[in-house]
Structure 1
């Protein structure tokens, strides 16, 4: 039977304890995933990361990491690339310490490049990252480039598939809200979700997926603002996604990125379980 997990992007809203104990709290909420946020830098110590790994295993909570936001592997500035490479090397090392099964990151921006030039630059930087990780004997990591929400960013679904198909230790993160925003609101029903899953299976041979979900507001340029599940005037729709997850039989982790984090993650899981009972 497929394993489908739900959890928050970052610490639960009401949690006041230490990061290395957070999975006990998440488990008590009946959630089973947690994405550690290193969005402003990897600041966790090796010892705390090791303790988080034990805490996650004790509570059957699957941990992932979101690497720093300040990453641009397709920049036209050499110093930006250099810093981005260092940050992702650091993120992969910390992911290994904490047992994170995915290290999520945003690939970059097109800046002055064409999409093809930006992709070439990104791939060159990834090769540097992997060479450095090999030199440091870091092997237990899986980078998970995320579909991006702005049209100025490298990272539409096709580009993420190309990156993941080009390197070992890579698997995609599909942020369904970003796909929705970037495409001007294309996700309207179960069929739209099915096409995404089918594309991933056809082109990468996948039967498992790390994903993000939130309601999202967007403009002609793409992503603008995240909204809660209760704000259902914003897409993409949740129930058809959960129906597709039930029907496709994949192992899927859904990380909630709404402003209500774990509270909305619980709602997602309850709705998923209700759909599962009906099926």
Structure 2
């Protein structure tokens, strides 16, 4: 069976002015096939609207994911912050189930004064609490997808996320290649660099599918600074080697565009991928 490769925007497309519940009509019309709903400032969508979005996505064969709120820190030094973070993730999972989101993406938090090992323990304790609450509410259709982070002060290296996903059911990583590039000081340059990431995920988690984000990124010694458009050649990581690898490695891949041009650049990504397939 041919791998399922999809492209779409992180949030409302630039050219779309209608209701969020009908956005997948537009996404299908322009030639894309994925959509990441952004609940970055809180899960505010109603049940009815979420159900309508899910129906609209199914009608158009658009794969929906959700990005949970930014205000999440599962390794905070403040127990109240962890409690609120868990509740926001519960809300995200509930809304995600309504809209039939296949992934709930989120950032796990900041180390603050904790060592990486201490932060890992705090995160695992919080996730255990999260899963208890999700189960108690009867939420069944969910997959939490913690995202690789772009700042060195954040919990969320690929190694840390693999450990989290190995430890809990219904967890799988979101790989943000730009974040990994920025966090490492610009390490992603070739197809082989991308292959190491895919191989690590396959070897350590047994996965042959990947939800991921892509943008060109500016960074400092501390990590991520600013997202840039796809055509900005001054910044990495490079797109073409990634698309070449995806065309070869048999993974199912959903690639969400996080450049400032969202759907415009997502379509450029899909066009380049199609060109690679044609040879």
Interval of TM-score (by shorter of Structure 1 and Structure 2)? over 0.9
Q: Please give the root-mean-square deviation of Cα atoms over the aligned residues, in Å.
A: 0.4
Whole-angstrom distance in 2 between the partners of 1:87 and 1:14: 30
Q: Map of 1:222-261 to 2, 5 A cutoff?
A: 222-261=223-262
Residue number in structure 2 paired with 1:52 = 53
Q: CA deviation at 1:232?
A: 1.4
Cross-structure match for 2:269 = 268
Equivalent-residue separation in structure 1 for 2:15 and 2:251 (angstroms): 31
CA distance in 1, matches of 2:94, 2:58: 19
Which 5+ residue runs of structure 1 have no aligned equivalent? none
Question: CA deviation digits over 1:128-169, x for unaligned, max 9?
Answer: 010001111011000000000000000001001111111001
1:249 Cα shift?
1.1
Q: What is the TM-score of this pair, normalised by structure 2?
A: 0.99
By how many angstroms is 1:48 displaced? 0.4
Partners of 1:3 and 1:142 in 2: how far apart?
18
1:203 aligns with 2:204: yes
Deviations 1:6-25 (A, max 9, x none): 00000100211111100000
Spell out the pairing of 1:118-129 with structure 2 (5 A cutoff): 118-129=119-130
State how far apart, in whole Å, the 2-side matches of 1:124 and 1:277 are. 48
Distance (whole Å) between structure 1 residues aligned to residue 235 and residue 105 of structure 2: 25
Runs of 4+ with >2 A deviation: none
Alignment of 1:144-223 (within 5 A): 144-223=145-224
Residue 26 of structure 1 and its aligned partner are, at CA, apart by: 0.2
Deviation at 1:259, TM superposition (A): 0.1
SS where residue 271 of structure 1 aligns?
helix
C-alpha distance in structure 1 between counterparts of 2:238 and 2:170, whole Å: 31
1:198, distance to aligned residue in structure 2 (A): 0.3
Partner residue of 2:71?
70
The whole-number CA distance in structure 1 between the counterparts of 2:233 and 2:140 is 42
Deviation readout 1:45-70 (Å, 9 max, x if unpaired)? 00000000100000010000000000
Deviations along 1:198-237, one digit per CA (max 9) or x if unpaired, are 0000000010000000000000000000000111110000
**Number of residues paired by the alignment?**
278
For structure 2, the 5+ residue unaligned runs are none
Question: Is 1:111 paired with 2:112?
Answer: yes
Match of residue 43 from structure 1: 44
Deviation at 1:28?
Answer: 0.3
Taking structure 1 as the reference length, the TM-score comes to: 0.99
Paired with 1:129 and 1:255, the residues of 2 have a C-alpha distance of 26
